[in-house]
Amino acid sequence: MSAESPHTANTPVTDANPAVDGSELIRFDKVTKRFAGNTVLDNLCFSVDSGKHVTLIGPSGSGKTTILRLLMTLVKPDEGTIKVGGDYLTHEERGGKLVPAGEKHIREVRKNIGMVFQQFNLFPNMKVLQNIMEAPVQVLGLSKDEAEARARELLDMVGLADRCDEYPSRLSGGQQQRVAIARALAMRPQVLLLDEVTSALDPELVAGVLDVLRDVARTTDITMLCVTHEMNFARDISDQVLMFDGGKVVESGSPEKIFGDPDHDRTREFLSAVL
Amino acid sequence: MNWDWSNVDAFMPRFWDGVLVTLQALAGGAVIAFVLGLIWAIALRSPTRWVRWPVAAFTEFIRNTPLLVQLFFLFYVVPEWGPSMSPLVTGIVGLGLHYSTYTSEVYRAGIEGVPAGQWEAATALSLPKRRTWTAVILPQAVRRVIPALGNYVIVMLKESPQLAAIGALEMLGEARGFSNETFTFEAISIVGLAFIVIAYPASVLLRVLERRLVR
Ligand SMILES: Nc1ncnc2c1ncn2[C@@H]1O[C@H](COP(=O)(O)OP(=O)(O)OP(=O)(O)O)[C@@H](O)[C@H]1O
Ligand SMILES: [Mg+2]
């Protein structure tokens, strides 16, 4: 099985876990990304079906963060295309040709994608409630009241209903990260990107954040792309695990398969090092 | 030389005129320097070369030529083909323009001090560029540079006597005139004191602000 072929990259999983609605939501097609001559992603092809929870694993420097940042348009691919919900992310079709997309097009496609960062990145000059309301009001055009209702509901879900009038600096890391999750969800994204969201937290705060994410995975149909070192969490929530190395997908399959009986030595080595 | 209070009494009316001019020049100049400096700083981050380059050249030029030359230029040359302004207004514009090229550096440092993660979070939420600047970046950047901006107000206070060169008689200009006419020294002493009386509380205030804002 060739991991490079977009059609076979996730075949093992589709058999094991029928897709929620079967349609393809994200597709990387021959994506290459270099940083200063260093090829981080090499002709990468993979796709993610709508509603799936996918965990990306792989050694440090294998490009997991880069994949999420490409989806969030924080970096641009050097070659290849990325599609989200059938639309090209950084390209537009004009007169039958693919051209680099304008800011407006990128903005439209990107609205479907939310991200939670390792360092939370809450806006320190805004109170918790305002952090969550900001984008729904400014980007989706919600009224203040609608946005506030939505924000309060989400804060309730992440267990911080009583902290809405605090500034982020007055919250613990774990609380800040839960606010950041609420802020991303307030945009009602189709896709949620999670990049090592518990790595910056003190050990005793990790569980609270992971519980919130388990909740999100269980109660919503948001597609999740998640980079994590929390292998138990990955096992719990994932429909599919992608193992990366050398800028390519080494192996892809259900968590049972990847964690239990991987096909590739590279995966085996990596897992024995982290587990 | 003996201190003569009658000289002080005689100088007082002109002193207050001078103080008024100093304070007007300072307030007006500071407002212009704060606003223009911010505009330069944002323009210097424009993705468009045709915005960046002229602004960079202009601010570099202003910063590296003497304020006095700029005041003469505004007062004697500009009216040849442009607006002609009173000495005080010319002084305010000159002072503000000159120091805007310094405050723009202050803002630049403040903007660069905002962590990259803030821009990334704004992008991830699809906030429009303008909103990202006004609601996320500038509130954080300006907060941490307020003390540095305040420092330039004190610098401007100390440079304000240059306005006398184009006939805007601020307090030192008034004192010099008075002393030259009367061959006395009290007026100069009073004005020296006045600079301290204005500058010292200002710098204390700045230090308090610094402690409260920059954390
Ligand atoms: N902005 C950048 N400039 C230069 N090099 C970069 C940049 N971003 C990433 N890289 C390089 O690209 C490679 C992949 O980085 P990436 O952060 O995607 O890896 P990762 O799989 O997320 O690793 P980790 O598990 O350590 O987070 C690394 O070698 C990194 O040094
Ligand atoms: Mg990473």
pTM of the model: 0.87
Query: Are B199 and B158 a contacting pair, CB within 8 Å?
Result: yes
What is the per-residue pLDDT across B47-91, written as a single tens digit (0 to 9) for each? 999 999 999 999 999 999 999 999 999 999 988 988 888 999 999
Q: Which two tokens stand for residue A11?
A: 């075949």
Integer CA distances (angstroms), A4 to A110, A117, A263, B74, B115, in order: 25, 28, 16, 68, 36
| Helix residue ranges, H only, A72-167 | 103-110, 128-138, 144-157
Q: Tell me if A74 and B125 make a contact (CB, 8 A cut-off).
A: no
pLDDT band at A3 (very low <50, low <70, confident <90, very high): very low
Amino acid code (one letter) for A34: R
Rounded to whole angstroms, the Cα distance separating B75 from B94 reads 9
Cα A117 to middle of ligand 1, angstroms: 15
Taking residues A174-198, what's their average pLDDT? 96
Which pLDDT does position A16 carry in this prediction? Answer: 33
Q: For residue A89, is pLDDT > 70? A: yes
Rounded to whole angstroms, the Cα distance separating A194 from A230 reads 12
Q: Tell me if A121 and B120 make a contact (CB, 8 A cut-off).
A: yes
Cα B69 to middle of ligand 1, angstroms: 52
Please state, for a pLDDT cut of 70, what percent of chain A lies above it. Answer: 92
ipTM (interface pTM): 0.88
How far apart are the CA of B117 and the nearest CA of chain A, in angstroms? 6
Q: Does any CB of chain A come closer than 8 Å to the CB of residue B48?
A: no
pLDDT band at A20 (very low <50, low <70, confident <90, very high): very low
Rounded to whole angstroms, the Cα distance separating B18 from B177 reads 11
What is the per-residue pLDDT across B5-49, written as a single tens digit (0 to 9) for each? 888 888 999 899 999 999 999 999 999 999 999 999 999 999 999
Contacts of residue B191, Cβ cutoff 8 Å, sequence gap at least 6: B15, B18, B171, B172, B174, B175
**Dihedral through CA B157, CA B162, CA B168, CA B172, nearest 10?**
70
- Counting one residue from chain A and one from chain B, the pairs whose CB atoms sit within 8 A come to 56
Q: Tell me if B123 and A139 make a contact (CB, 8 A cut-off).
A: no
Q: Does any CB of chain B come closer than 8 Å to the CB of residue A113?
A: yes
Contacts of residue A233, Cβ cutoff 8 Å, sequence gap at least 6: A210, A213, A214
Strand partners, A251: A243
Rounded to whole angstroms, the Cα distance separating B61 from B202 reads 30
Which of A110, A119, A134 is opposite residue B135, by nearest beta carbon? Answer: A134
- CATH class of segment(s) B12-214: mainly alpha
Q: Look at strands A79-84 and A24-35 and give their pairing.
A: antiparallel
Secondary structure class of A165 (helix, strand, coil): coil
- Name the strand (E) or helix (H) holding A82: strand A79-84
**Residue spans per domain, chain B:** 12-214
| Whether residue A228 has its Cβ less than 6 Å from ligand 1 | no
Q: For residue B213, is pLDDT > 80? A: no
A70-109: b (≥16 Cβ within 10 Å) or e: bbbbbbebeebebbbbebbbbbbeeeeeeeebeeebbbeb
Mean pLDDT across chain A: 88
Q: For residue A18, is pLDDT > 70? A: no
What is the per-residue pLDDT across A157-170, written as a single tens digit (0 to 9) for each? 999 999 999 999 99
Cα B59 to middle of ligand 1, angstroms: 37
What is the per-residue pLDDT across A21-72, written as a single tens digit (0 to 9) for each? 568 999 999 999 999 989 999 999 999 999 999 999 999 989 999 999 999 9
Which pLDDT does position A22 carry in this prediction? Answer: 64
Instruction: State which of A102-106, B81-85, B108-112 shows the largest mean pLDDT.
Output: B108-112
Q: Tell me if A187 and B126 make a contact (CB, 8 A cut-off).
A: yes
